[in-house]
Structure 1
Amino acid sequence: MSNLQKKDFSSWYLQTIQQAELMSYSEVRGCIVFRPDGFELWERIQNEVNKYLRQEEIRNVYFPMLIPKSYFMKEAEHVKGFAPELPWVTEVGSEKLEEPYALRPTSETMIGKSFHEWINSYRDLPYEINQWANVFRWEKRTLPFLRTSEFLWHEGHTAHADEADARRRTLHVLNFYVKMLEEFLAIPVHAGQKTPSERFAGAVDTFSIEAMMKDGKAVQAGTSHYLGTKFAEAFDIKYLDQSNQHAYVHTTSWAVSTRLIGALIMVHGDEKGLVLPPKITPTQIILTPVGPWKKEPKILETLQTIQDLLKAAGLRVRLDDSDSTPGYKFNKWEQKGAAIRIELGPRDLLQNQFVLKMRDLDAKEVWSLDDLEPTFIQQKLDQMHDRLLVNAQKFSRTHEHLNIETLAELKEHIKCCEKNQEIPGFILIGWDGSEETEAQIKEETGFTTRNIPFNPPVEKKFDIVNGKSAKHTVWIARAY
């Protein structure tokens, strides 16, 4: 970690995303403007999710942003969970609306109404759709990408004939999220089940993937919910089964959002700015002429030929032939997270070589121009992805604590970390399953339960608060 990361992680984060030109602030409280590079990161995440959807034959739809109040009132737990964050539209011009409309916080209620109309027979099931949309949750404390009043996401919604099939989809999606984060974003995660107090409003079970940031805090990077028949009963979503009997469908919903962009930055960034996995970075290769290159036209010609070659192979490559100094250019493209920098000057041209600098490594490499082929560059990009994932895994493991058994030990751990300016990280604890002990941990330490991992590194036998037999082994952490 850089000095600023250690000293003031939030300041480092805000400085990094602004220097990289990912976003700018808007005049609407808690909302941001996505600049081109920032939105491209989201588009590349969209592409990965859409590949999964096409593979699973789940099609995209779009629903209205405004949701009638009466829809929310049909599922009491759901409306109670979202009520504090809901913005309402109550009038148009000078005319009061007969019924208020909420700005969409999520779409279970709207989609439930449509499922009621669309699903009639077992032949219609499973019914599986996805929506790309903006949603609104009027956050009191905001942080760009990670927690904003308006954010972008995808939300999948499915209806099934029985619980088994619905749960299969719920966990299949979660497994896809794990794979996408590790193989595309180079972010390791813990997959598991949320505790009842942390699950989605109206869900029977919520499952999540939790990622550790460089300040040791958790980001809930994706969720998948088994909703049972709650929304089906609220919206009368029934189907005629093979026995000619009416039955309620079992529904699911699942999502990842633009908070993944924040997680990317916080997991991989360094003192120079963005460090982005090559599969998602807007600029994979930046070509930079150096030295008195304007006196030697062949330098620019060679770089343009290289650019054409790499572009034809599908690589994202740019040529910076601006009048800025090499040092300014190097700094600029490091801040923006370009994965590879290729330098070419008069001496390099004379010796038929080029200089290559990987964004995540300190040393430069010198290679023959004859080696500069798309397969060579792709190999370098793949190696960088693997390094980023391994480094993130090492960081997470280093800051995961498995031997804290009591609340007193947890408090002492936190105290020592604060004194030594260290990261408290993730703590694996035993939990008796009661809301009382969960609430006490949060009140006395600021740590919240992240999830009950499917495959914990160890099984805890005793509750961290009262020493009683543990029903679950749980990850806890401070979180965004």
Structure 2
Amino acid sequence: MSKGLPKRSEDYSLWYNELVKRADLAENSPVRGCMVIKPYGYSIWEKMQAELDRMFKETGHTNAYFPLFIPKSYLSKEASHVEGFAKECAVVTHYRLKNSDDGRGVIVDPEAKLEEELIVRPTSETVIWSTYKNWIQSYRDLPLLVNQWANVVRWEMRTRLFLRTAEFLWQEGHTAHASKEEAIEETVQMMNVYATFAENFMALPVVRGIKSANERFAGAEDTYCIEALMQDGKALQAGTSHFLGQNFAKAFDVKFATKEGGLEYVWGTSWGASTRLMGALIMAHSDDNGLVLPPKLAPIQVVIVPIYKGDEELERISVKAKEIMASLRAKGISVQFDNRDTHKPGWKFAEYELKGVPLRIAMGPRDLENNTVEIARRDTLTKESVNLSEISIDKYVSDLLEEIQRNIFQKAFEFRENMTTEADTWQEFEDLLENKGGFVSAHWDGTTETEERIKELTKATIRCIPIDRKEESGSCILTGKPSTGRVLFARAY
């Protein structure tokens, strides 16, 4: 093993970047701002994807796929949408290369200019709503509940693996409805799906809320979101669900014949979560020794490491290890037996700790004699010797994995509670942001001007107006104007 990770307390950003690379999750690619997701990192993403996909299908959605390229004219049809994404768009202008006559190698063929430039998809509302015009004629065609798993490109100047890259993976749901009420119900439902996934699988406590007008998705009437807190006290938006009203239906002339025989524009939603969730998972739970993975998303939930001298001892340990593996796999637990002779047990222990494997079982010749194993937990870094004749190993491990999942959530929940503070004066507000961080709950007068001024002065944004906030009269933290309730501010990724 190489030397230890940088400490979170000394350089959180460096700790994060090093952990992503050393735990074999991802690395920078030859294309500036893009990343290569390595097999171990991708296997965590696949587990996330599988659970979310199941939840989408359970709520009535089906998957489809839409083009990567979007005609430039499509983006002009919804004014606020194009304004929101214009600065991030990658544009295709030509369709052919050729060898230069002067030995410079391959060049763009100037004769092969596209009549209309194509935008590499930053999000798919425009191309999907142009398609929905052909799919929707009558109330019988509604609701239309579609999701796609895809990559998108948003040209970023300052990038960080998983958190902000020029190309990233995500899913985007796009639904069409006959009524405003049904579309809003869908928007709220999908925010709750994301929150359930974050809390039950990622062990990540989140705040459900609505974005301020300033932070709203370009082209939406309302954006619902889930916000999480990272260990450095910064917030991270972990999923968004947008009520689009009839904006895109009007832009692309998507109408339906009502039951009563009239003709109306449909109501839309869109919702998405991306590989940014990987960044949230790493930053919310991991420690100075490496990743801490919730068992439900760990590619390897249990690793068995034999401690032996010579082939004969390994053979005897292997027999017992395979027995244990079979009983754990029968319970649906993913388990790996690491009998490589290229690395010593101590190296393997450190490697699996770095990679966040929830449970490690060590077995040596003395364990065979005593019918025991040593079980080490990644979340607490504690070890215990367990007598196999006194327990059922599959139930014991299964219960322990559930306990680890709960413990990781509880630790993150308590951290968030301790890092959520009310501020009633501007002085308190600034002090909290500067010296403590986390969520600051404070009154705001509801204006975009005040929100922008606060951001300018403190770099903090309104993360959300919490769904469950209590209505209470107060004075805006900056202007002193009347306010009807507190909102959550934080510095954010």
Same fold (TM over 0.5): yes
The match for 2:490 is 477
Q: 1:71 to 1:223 in 2, by over 3 A?
A: same
Are 2:270 and 1:253 equivalent residues in the alignment? yes
Choose the corresponding residue for 2:146, options 129, 133, 136. 129
Paired residue secondary structure (1:239): strand
Give the residue type in structure 1 aligned to 2:188. L
Give, in angstroms, the shift of residue 396 of structure 1: 0.5
Are 2:337 and 1:310 equivalent residues in the alignment? no
Paired residue secondary structure (1:275): coil
Query: Unpaired runs of 5+ in structure 2?
Result: 97-108
Checking the alignment, whether the CA contact within 8 Å between 2:471 and 2:485 is kept in structure 1 is no
Give, in angstroms, the shift of residue 255 of structure 1: 0.6
Checking the alignment, whether the CA contact within 8 Å between 1:429 and 1:460 is kept in structure 2 is no
Paired residue secondary structure (2:488): strand
Consecutive aligned runs of 4 or more in structure 1 exceeding 6 Å deviation: none
Question: TM-score, normalized by length of structure 1?
Answer: 0.96
Q: Deviations over 1:426-479 (max 9, x none)?
A: 101101111111011111111011000011378462110011111442111111
Give, in angstroms, the shift of residue 369 of structure 1: 2.0
Checking the alignment, whether the CA contact within 8 Å between 1:290 and 1:344 is kept in structure 2 is yes
Q: How many angstroms apart in 2 are the aligned matches of 1:272 and 1:42?
A: 22
Choose the corresponding residue for 1:359, options 373, 378, 382. 378
| Percent of aligned positions that are identical | 44
Paired residue secondary structure (2:483): coil
Paired residue secondary structure (1:366): strand
Give the residue type in structure 2 aligned to 1:363. T
Checking the alignment, whether the CA contact within 8 Å between 1:293 and 1:299 is kept in structure 2 is no
Give, in angstroms, the shift of residue 292 of structure 1: 2.8
Map 1:169-180 → 2, pairs under 5 A: 169-180=186-197
Paired residue secondary structure (2:296): coil
The match for 2:42 is 39
Choose the corresponding residue for 1:76, options 75, 79, 101. 79
Q: How many angstroms apart in 2 are the aligned matches of 1:173 and 1:20?
A: 32
Answer with 115-124 or 45-54: which moved more.
45-54
Checking the alignment, whether the CA contact within 8 Å between 1:433 and 1:472 is kept in structure 2 is no
Q: How many angstroms apart in 2 are the aligned matches of 1:407 and 1:461?
A: 13
Q: How many angstroms apart in 2 are the aligned matches of 1:411 and 1:46?
A: 39
Paired residue secondary structure (2:9): helix
Are 2:48 and 1:20 equivalent residues in the alignment? no
Give, in angstroms, the shift of residue 414 of structure 1: 3.7
The match for 1:59 is 62
Q: How many angstroms apart in 1 are the aligned matches of 2:209 and 2:463?
A: 9
Paired residue secondary structure (1:227): strand
Give, in angstroms, the shift of residue 52 of structure 1: 1.5
Give the residue type in structure 2 aligned to 1:284. Q
Answer with 91-100 or 293-302: which moved more.
293-302
Q: Deviations over 1:86-127 (max 9, x none)?
A: 000001112000000001010000110111110000111111
Answer with 17-26 or 387-396: which moved more.
17-26
Q: How many angstroms apart in 2 are the aligned matches of 1:145 and 1:51?
A: 23
Are 2:453 and 1:433 equivalent residues in the alignment? no
Map 1:206-245 → 2, pairs under 5 A: 206-245=223-262
The match for 2:104 is none
Q: How many angstroms apart in 2 are the aligned matches of 1:65 and 1:362?
A: 45
Q: How many angstroms apart in 2 are the aligned matches of 1:412 and 1:336?
A: 37
Give, in angstroms, the shift of residue 295 of structure 1: 4.2
Q: How many angstroms apart in 2 are the aligned matches of 1:474 and 1:154?
A: 28
Give the residue type in structure 2 aligned to 1:441. I
Question: TM-score, normalized by length of structure 2?
Answer: 0.93
RMSD: 1.4
Q: Deviations over 1:344-383 (max 9, x none)?
A: 0011111111000011113211111232532221111000
Q: Deviations over 1:156-214 (max 9, x none)?
A: 00000010000000001111111110011100001100000100000000011000000
Give, in angstroms, the shift of residue 409 of structure 1: 2.1
Checking the alignment, whether the CA contact within 8 Å between 1:292 and 1:345 is kept in structure 2 is no
The match for 2:459 is 446
Q: How many angstroms apart in 2 are the aligned matches of 1:472 and 1:457?
A: 7
Q: How many angstroms apart in 2 are the aligned matches of 1:163 and 1:20?
A: 46
The match for 1:88 is 91
Give the residue type in structure 2 aligned to 1:305. E
Q: How many angstroms apart in 1 are the aligned matches of 2:62 and 2:276?
A: 23
Q: How many angstroms apart in 1 are the aligned matches of 2:446 and 2:403?
A: 43
Q: How many angstroms apart in 2 are the aligned matches of 1:7 and 1:293?
A: 43
Paired residue secondary structure (2:203): coil
Q: How many angstroms apart in 2 are the aligned matches of 1:158 and 1:49?
A: 17
Aligned positions, number: 472
Choose the corresponding residue for 2:426, options 407, 423, 426. 407
Q: How many angstroms apart in 1 are the aligned matches of 2:469 and 2:441?
A: 8
Are 2:348 and 1:301 equivalent residues in the alignment? no
Paired residue secondary structure (1:97): strand
Give the residue type in structure 1 aligned to 2:194. Y
Are 2:352 and 1:349 equivalent residues in the alignment? no
Answer with 260-269 or 296-305: which moved more.
296-305
Choose the corresponding residue for 1:398, options 395, 407, 418. 418
The match for 1:338 is 357
Q: 1:274 to 1:438 in 2, by over 3 A?
A: same
Query: Unpaired runs of 5+ in structure 1?
Result: 418-422
The match for 2:106 is none
Paired residue secondary structure (1:5): coil
Q: How many angstroms apart in 1 are the aligned matches of 2:221 and 2:81?
A: 11
The match for 1:117 is 134
Q: Deviations over 1:21-75 (max 9, x none)?
A: 0112101111101111111111111111111222122110000100000100110
Choose the corresponding residue for 1:326, options 345, 348, 351. 345
Q: 1:314 to 1:376 in 2, by over 3 A?
A: same
Give the residue type in structure 2 aligned to 1:233. K
Q: How many angstroms apart in 2 are the aligned matches of 1:408 and 1:122?
A: 55
Checking the alignment, whether the CA contact within 8 Å between 1:407 and 1:441 is kept in structure 2 is no
Q: How many angstroms apart in 2 are the aligned matches of 1:283 and 1:3?
A: 25
Checking the alignment, whether the CA contact within 8 Å between 2:163 and 2:276 is kept in structure 1 is yes
Answer with 299-308 or 110-119: which moved more.
299-308
Choose the corresponding residue for 1:468, options 471, 481, 488. 481
Q: How many angstroms apart in 2 are the aligned matches of 1:147 and 1:460?
A: 38
Q: How many angstroms apart in 1 are the aligned matches of 2:297 and 2:433?
A: 35
Give, in angstroms, the shift of residue 8 of structure 1: 0.6
Paired residue secondary structure (1:4): coil
The match for 1:198 is 215
